[in-house]
Every structure is written in structure tokens, then in C-alpha cells.
Amino acid sequence: MSTFPAARLRRLRSTAGLRDLVRETEVSLDDLILPLFVAPDALGNDALPAMQRFTVEGVVRECEELVRIGARAVILFGVPESKDDEGSGAWVDDGIVQQALRALRPRFPELLLLTDVCLCEYTAHGHCGVLHDDRVDNDASVELLARTAVSHVEAGADAVCPSDMMDGRVGAIRERLPETPIVAYSAKYASAFYGPFRDVAGSAPSFGDRRSYQMDPGNVREALRECELDVAEGADVLLVKPALPYLDVVRAVRERFDLPVAAYNVSGEYAMVKAAAAAGHLDERAAALESLTAIKRAGADMIFTYWVRDVASWLV
Ligand code: PBG
């Protein structure tokens, strides 16, 4: 017989108090960022309640409620009145996101206002940059993205989040905005999980796909190269997107870099749980909290997620 007692790991699982005491990872509202869509007209969403469109007045009311329940941060996406080839609605002074920022900034000094910097919601063709002979022109797009980031900060954004995946855009934004935190969508994959977002934002490409700028799902070393460049160009936070199918990428970025890491729990991940719960296959609350815990455990310091309102009610 062994002189050592057999390991008894169940000792620390026997009561809720002990489990709470030894838990390594916890989801907190402090680490969550809620995406909000601002548009000229409101549009509800029964199946995916966190994915509705708000008017500027509506987004003010929504943020009032978010602050009341303890939410800390939102990221604004704009759905413009009209689109053009250049996506000018992204940077004009009276653009939809700029209007929302000017309404929100003075009212909610304690709420973090992040903005998504991309052209796909604003271009008539739905690509994330401007076209030259049906190809997305990198450097011309970078110029317009930097202009967009500057206009967001002038309107009151606390941080900007370039999500376009053009080369060199973080550096171009950093040059113009030395003081602004940049949350770089560094490892953003050409994913099948963005469907519900594109429906709400009206940003599906009208031809082709995004594989000439977003990353191939098979690659992880390339994600680290993307991060390396973004660090060199002045990024403050490195973001991996989507989250759940890419937890190995979150972990790899966490291990290689000492910057804060973000993960985007995208619309398709939210929709899958919602649909499965509606069909009676699983419990939304348990599945959502488990997902968010897993994303943090993999190494994310912060999570962009549609479940912020729900988490606020679940954690009380
Ligand atoms: C803009 C952008 C997208 C998402 C965030 N920023 C869509 C895309 O790349 O097509 C997706 C977010 C989600 O699915 O929740 N480029």
C-alpha cells in the first residue's frame, strides 16, 4: 500500500463556499464591453434582443439603463442613412456615430465609449476599405480609417478599435492620435460567425468575401505576426475575434505579449446559444456564463459580448 494518501481533489468541491474560495477565473461586468448599433431608424430584434438598432435618442436611453445596472463600457457601430463608394459616412462630422458620441459623452462621463473603426457599414459595396479595380486598396483605405478614428475622438470617443484588417492602420491612427487608446482587432479571422452582425449593420459585402484582408481560420503563427506589427505600430490592446472557436489563439497571444488581450464573442456565437436555448436544448444563462468564463480562462482580460445586460442581471 502507498504511504501517500490518494489525491482527494473533491475536498475543495464539496460546498459552494469552498468552490467560490478556490475559483481561478471569474466573469465581472468590469471586463465586458457591449456592442451598440446606432442608426437613423430603430429596429427591434426579437430573437437576438441585444442586436437591435437604436436611434441617437434611443441609444441615450439605453446607456442610461446600462449605467444604472452597472455596465462599464460600450462599443458603438454606425448604420448610416446612405452609403457611397468611399464610405464617407464613417468620418463626416455629423455621421451617425459622431452624433451618438456627442449626445452620450456629456451625459455619461463614467461610461467608457469605444468605437469600431471600419468602412464596411458605410461603403455601398460593403467591403472594409475602398476599391481599386475591385480590389480593396490598402493604403487609400488606411488614410480614410485614420480620418474616421480622428473624427470619433473629436466627438468624444475614449478609445478606438480598428477592425478593418488593413496593413499599417494602427500606425496611421497612432501617428494622428498619440494619446488615444487603440484596441486593435489584430487577429480577426474571415469567419462564418459574423452573419447576424452583418444583418443588423447592413454590412455584408455585395460581391466576393473578406478573405483578402481578414485572416485564414487555419493560421495561428500569422496571428502572432499581426500582433507583433500592431504592438510595434502602437496598439494598446490586442484583440482576437471570434472568441470561442479561437481560444487557442487567445492563449497564444496571452503567452507571447504582455499587453492586455481582448476577445470578441461575436454575433454568431451569441445567436447559436440563443437558438439552442429557444429550442430547449440548453440553458442560456449557464451556457453564456460558461462561455464567458472560458474566454477569460484562455487569457482574455476583456470581452466584447452581447450578453452584458443579461450578465448584470445574472450576477446580482
Ligand atoms: C466590421 C466588424 C464586423 C464585426 C465587428 N466589426 C463584421 C465583419 O467583419 O464582417 C462582427 C461582429 C460580430 O459578428 O458580432 N468590420
pLDDT band at residue 5 under the 50/70/90 scheme: confident
Host domain of residue 153: 26-314
Q: Is residue 12 part of a domain?
A: no
Q: Is residue 2 part of a domain?
A: no
Q: Is residue 8 part of a domain?
A: no
> Of the residues 194, 239, 267, which should be mutated to test ligand 1's pocket, given the most ligand atoms within 8 Å of the CB?
194
Closest residue (by CA) to atom 5 of ligand 1?
163
Which uninterrupted H or E stretch holds 286?
helix 284-298
Mean pLDDT of 183-204: 97
Supply angle C-alpha 176, 179, 183, rounded to 5.
85
Q: For residue 140, report the phi and psi dihedrals to the nearest 5 degrees.
A: -65, -35
Q: Is residue 272 part of a domain?
A: yes
Q: Is 306 helix (H, G, I), strand (E, B) or coil?
A: coil
pLDDT value at residue 201: 94
CB atoms within 10 A of CB 7: 7
- 162: which strand partners? 117
Q: What is the number of domains present in the chain?
A: 1
Q: Is residue 165 part of a domain?
A: yes
Is the pLDDT score of 1 beyond 60? no
CB within 8 A of 224, min separation 6: which ones?
252, 253, 256
**pTM: predicted TM-score of the whole model, two decimal places:** 0.97
C-alpha cell at 235: 496598439
DSSP H helix total and E strand total for the chain = 11, 11
Supply angle C-alpha 275, 266, 194, rounded to 5.
85
Q: Is residue 10 part of a domain?
A: no
CB atoms within 10 A of CB 204: 14
Based on the residue annotation, tell me whether 188 is a catalytic residue of this protein. yes
One-letter amino acid for residue 275 of the chain: A
What are the pocket residues of ligand 1 if the criterion is a CB atom closer than 6 Å to any ligand atom?
116, 118, 120, 128, 163, 194, 197-198, 203, 266-267
pLDDT value at residue 180: 98
The two most distant CA atoms of the chain are separated, in Å, by: 79
Q: Is residue 13 part of a domain?
A: no
Is the pLDDT score of 3 beyond 90? no
Q: Is residue 18 part of a domain?
A: no
Mean pLDDT of 268-288: 98
pLDDT value at residue 316: 81
Mean pLDDT of 20-32: 97
pLDDT value at residue 270: 98
Is the pLDDT score of 159 beyond 80? yes
- 132: which strand partners? 135
pLDDT value at residue 7: 87
**CATH number for position 180:** 3.20.20.70
For 49-106, the pLDDT digits (tens) are 999 999 999 999 999 999 999 999 999 999 999 999 999 999 999 999 999 999 999 9
Mean pLDDT of 140-144: 96
